[in-house]
Structures are given as C-alpha cells and as structure tokens.
Structure 1
C-alpha cells in the first residue's frame, strides 16, 4: 500500500518522500529519517561545540575566580558569553531538528531516493545499478550511517547533499543516509535488494583498522562491497 502524504508541509509530493508516484512494478522496502540527537552529534558536532563554549565560559570567568571574587562578579564576567553560547547551541540543535524533519530516505526494489532541503526541497534518485559500494558506520543504540559510492563519472555537488554526504569526500561526494535507526536492518535490505537488481553477489567484509579505532571510540564500521 503506497504511503500517502496527508500533511500540508509537503503537499506537492504525490507520494511521501518521493518526487513522483512509483511505477506499478516498484515498491517501497524501507523509509526513514535521521534521528535528531544522533544527527546533531555526528553531523553538526554539537557536543564538540558545547565543550568549546564551556571552555570559553571558563576562560571568561577565570580572572574573577582566580581573584576569589564573589558569585556576582563571576556572573558579571560571563553575562555576554553564556547567553551567546546558549543561542549558538540552540541554533545548531534547531538546524539538526529541521534537517531531520525535512529529510526522508527511501529504499525501493530499484533505487534509493533522498529527499533533502529545509527551504528548497530537492530529491536525488540513485539507481541501485549505479551503486558500487556501501559503507556502514555504527553510532550507538542501533543508529548509524550508510554511505553509497556511485559508479561512473557523474557526481552530485557536495553542498547539495550536505549533511547527507560522507565527510571530506569532496572530489567525488558519496551520498549518505545519516543517523538512521536500525542501520543493520537497512543495510541488509540494501544488500539483498542490490543483489536482486544486479544479479551479483554482495560481500560483507569488516574493515579491520576501522573496527579497531571504532572499538576504542565505542563505534563500529562495516565495509559492504557491492562489486
């Protein structure tokens, strides 16, 4: 049964998350959006920003603390930096929230569709036959990223995909399904569907070096070869 868009925010969509209705021989296998907290942490680096602002506040308050001044003097020394820090963190969280609300990833039996954009909405259709490899990066609690390496010389602008793109791959950007729940289940669906579409076997091999680093950081990477 097709998923209809019954809301008003994207009422121009004939089918939720898709630029057009699917053909009769195509159907949705999975559809989802980024988790807000995981996206804010992994893509917008809000935890690092929080540490940075905390250090700024301590630096501003340190002279008063070092002199043994009272609470009023300490508060006076951070009266500007503390509100600005909260506004900055709130703005970043709002960006992550709006990105999560407006991003929809769809896996069908033929392609991956990415609907992106807070103000200007764009959709990218990625045929599974054009997918060369997928890299799965675990975050926490079943959340993770799936990065797609595409065949051929065609490329999508990095800025057009951000934050749904692999970091630091500027020469040939790799679209990514960022901070999605049940990432293992989704990666298995992607692998099985890719195999059915291409008729080729997909090999899942662990990235040893990445796994060692990930274990230290309480994350785990999995390289899924689709060639």
Structure 2
C-alpha cells in the first residue's frame, strides 16, 4: 500500500493553504548529489580513506611485498566505500524530504527527514539574501534574518549557511538554476517590502456629554 507522509498537506510544502492574495512563485528541492557533496563533505571523506589506504600500502610494502601490502590496504577502501554510500543515502533522503517555496509574501521551507518542520519566513523579516553559485549551476541562497528571530542551527541543518552558528541563517541549499531562483526571490521581496501596508484604525469612541 502506498503511503505518503505528507498527504495531510493542503498544498505541497506548506502546512496550510496560502491566504487570499498569496501566490506561489517557485517550488523546488536541493539537488541530492550537490547536497551530499557540500553538506556531508563527501569528497573529503572519500579522500581521507584513500589516504589511509595509501599510507597503509606505503608503510608495509617494503616488509611484506606488494601483494600483501595491497591486501592490507584494501579494507580501508572497502570501509570508505561503505561510509560514502551511507552519506549518499542520507543526502538523497534529506533532499527528497525537502520542499522550498517562494511566494509573493514569504519563503517557506519544509525540511527534515526524521523530524519535519516548516519555516515560514516573511520578506519583512529578511535583511538580505546571499547567493553562493557553483560552476554546475547549483547554488545556495542564504537568508539573513532581522529582528528577534532565532533559529536552531542543529534543527535546521543542513539547510543553513555553513558555520554561521551564532546567528543561524536558513538557506535554500544546493538548488538547481540558483541564479534564476535568486532573481525570483529578489523581485518578490522588493515588491512586497515596497508595497504600503494598509492599517485600519479603530473608530474613536463617541464623546459623552457631561451631566
């Protein structure tokens, strides 16, 4: 039987239907391969095990011969392959569980594979957005929040700007066509912030004549 963990969402990626006048401009998720490389340091981990294998081979080849030295270093490569496979699984699951949404009023982030949370970030709470663009066209858009808003780095990871722990910056990590998405975000945020907000004042109480 097919089961959808997010079937209760009235709109994909959002905990409730958008209010009247709010429109979804873009939705997407991270590129799982780019997310695995960037947030889980896949290449560094793979390189670490390769270095261990080379070191093992070089330190024993003079004593036991090339064949035995190669056999002794192979377990490091096997272990490294297992670890890298696990990291790729984590990256894939994280990417598939994520939905980033940009509307004409806010940025919404449904994140988390085990513990799912949805961040609603109105444009009025965004100080700026920084784009980190990669050569393959993927990129990360980090959002600098203003005001008293504080987010947990661990709860939001890996959907954060790396190493910004004192003041966590949520981020749209490793998204395809990041330049186009950044332009959509910039245009929508500028339009929203520059739009005057109508404030309805309560009518003044009627004067009561003194007796």
TM value normalised by structure 1: 0.81
Partner of 1:17: 13
> d(CA) in 1 for partners of 2:149 and 2:51?
44
Distance 1:89 1:192 in 2: 39
Matched residue, 1:203? none
The 8 Å contact of residues 53 and 74 in structure 2, kept in 1 or not, is answered as no
2:89 aligned with 1:94: yes
Give distance in 1, aligned partners of 2:62 and 2:193. Answer: 67
1:51 aligns with 2:47: yes
Which of the pair has more CA radius of gyration?
2
Partner residue of 1:109?
104
1:141 matched to 2:136? The reply is yes
Return the offset for 1:79.
Answer: 4.6
Residue by residue, what CA displacement relative to the aligned partner does 1:88-111 show, whole Å, maximum 9, x if unpaired? 111111111111111110000100
- Hey, what does 1:130 align to over in structure 2? 125
The CA deviation at 1:44 is 1.0
Which residue in 1 is equivalent to 2:209? none
Unaligned runs of 5+ in 1: 1-5, 201-227
Write the deviation string for residues 64-105 of structure 1: whole angstroms up to 9, x where unpaired.
33347143x134313532222111111111111111111110
* Secondary structure of the corresponding residue to residue 120 of structure 1: coil
Q: 1:165 aligns with which of 139, 145, 160?
A: 160
CA distance in 2, matches of 1:197, 1:188: 14
The answer to whether the aligner puts 1:84 opposite 2:62 as a matched pair is: no
Distance 1:181 1:159 in 2: 24
Q: Count matched residues.
A: 194
Runs of 4+, deviation exceeding 6 Å: none
Distance in 2 between residues matched to 1:144 and 1:154, nearest whole Å: 25
